[in-house]
Amino acid sequence: MSPADAREYARVARERSAAIVARAQQESGRYGAWILFRKEMDRFIKVSGQTIVSPVLTTLLWFLVFGYSLGERLQEIQGIPYVDFLVPGLIMMALIMNSFLNSGFSFFISKIHGTVTDLLVSPLSPVQILAAYSSASILRGMLVGGAIWIVAALMGASTLHNLGLTLLFMALTCFVFALLGLIIGILARDFDHVNFIPSFLIMPLTFLGGVFYSIEMLPKPWDSVSLLNPILYMVNGLRYGMTGVSDVPVYWGLLIVCSAVAACWLLAWWLLITGKKLRE
């Protein structure tokens, strides 16, 4: 290479580097957020047998066992077939668990491997980090929930009352538990801490949230106690969107799920911006 060619090559390289820096500054990390989202998405897509297929099959087993065994005895709840009544609750269970586990374990593993340090010193803002992780978790939850919904419809369930409201409750619920999973991933010290929330908090609240029954079937005072469970409102909001029936007012469900999104977003943002449990 001649000296003139070398100078020309160096000039082109400087211009290209300057263009990349200018683009990064102009986009304020948006491209990096997109790459982080793609990384998180590729992570669960590569093991889709565990992250998508397995929860769908597990939920369908619940559907077969409870839908057809109890369905023969209960027949109808609130004027709709028990199978139709059951589908929204099972979908809600899948949405909650998959969106939580995706963000919770992913962020915690990045802490274990030490890669979270690279993330914190990157040009990405806390808002962009939150958006990338929660978007990937919402996508996983929606894929699993959508697959269950389609398979249940193929098996005879009729659950299409209000499509817009159904998709809204699905997406907002995934958003809440994606953010909650991120919060737990930030605060957790070991895998037991990450497993504690779904095993001893989310799962019991989900089972007591009207997945398999209407709270009208509960004796007093348990029907009133159930109203303190926020997941009850999420389940019934989705059930109303799919079947047109609900134990509680739908607007209460929307208010609670939107409030949960705001609270979890603010807490996760504060944890990231302060480096709580990340820089210690």
Q: What is the mean pLDDT of residues 193-209?
A: 87
Nearest to 102 by CA among 62, 128, 130, 139: 139
Residue whose token pair is 């739908």: 250
| Distance between CA atoms of residues 108 and 134, nearest Å | 14
| Distance between CA atoms of residues 174 and 156, nearest Å | 26
Q: What is the pLDDT of residue 17?
A: 47
Convert the pLDDT of each residue in 171-189 to its tens digit. Answer: 999 999 999 999 999 998 8
Q: Is residue 7's pLDDT more than 80?
A: no
Q: Is residue 14's pLDDT more than 70?
A: no
| Distance between CA atoms of residues 279 and 276, nearest Å | 7
Q: What is the pLDDT of residue 276?
A: 76
Q: Is residue 22's pLDDT more than 60?
A: no
Give strand pairing partners of 80.
77
Q: What is the pLDDT of residue 65?
A: 80
Convert the pLDDT of each residue in 207-253 to its tens digit. Answer: 888 888 888 888 888 888 889 999 999 999 999 999 999 999 999 99
| Distance between CA atoms of residues 223 and 215, nearest Å | 5
Mean pLDDT of the chain: 85
